[in-house]
């Protein structure tokens, strides 16, 4: 049962996830989680959660001048850039795999 293709694929995916996680500094993760928890606690107070602010177009433009919002947007755009790069690498890998399979499989 352990040699089933689905189980082997699951092990492979698990190994990839563990590899990615092993590259992240544990102290940095703890610091980021703690900072995120403090920031969320300061921002989402019970009063704010009972009556969240409504923001229109003018409010959005005003928020864009807030340094904290600008930092968060910077991180968000870095994440989006990383996702774009990941999709680019995925496309390259898929093309390489398709080329390899085409060489291995005879044409009918």
The answer for residues whose C-beta is within 8 angstroms of residue 69's C-beta and 6 or more apart is 63
What is residue 108's predicted lDDT score, i.e. its pLDDT? 62
Q: For the whole prediction, is pTM greater than 0.85?
A: no
Q: What is the largest CA-CA distance in the chain?
A: 69
Low-confidence ranges of the chain (pLDDT < 50): none
């Amino acid at each position: 049962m352990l040699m089933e293709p689905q189980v082997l694929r699951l092990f492979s995916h698990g190994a990839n996830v563990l590899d990615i996680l092993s590259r992240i500094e544990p102290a940095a993760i703890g610091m980021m989680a703690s900072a995120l928890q403090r920031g969320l606690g300061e921002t989402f107070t019970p009063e704010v959660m009972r009556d969240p602010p409504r923001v229109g177009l003018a409010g959005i433009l005003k928020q864009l001048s807030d340094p904290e919002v600008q930092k968060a947007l910077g991180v968000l755009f870095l994440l989006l850039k990383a996702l774009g790069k990941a999709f680019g690498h995925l496309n390259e890998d898929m093309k390489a795999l398709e080329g390899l399979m085409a060489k291995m499989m005879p044409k009918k």
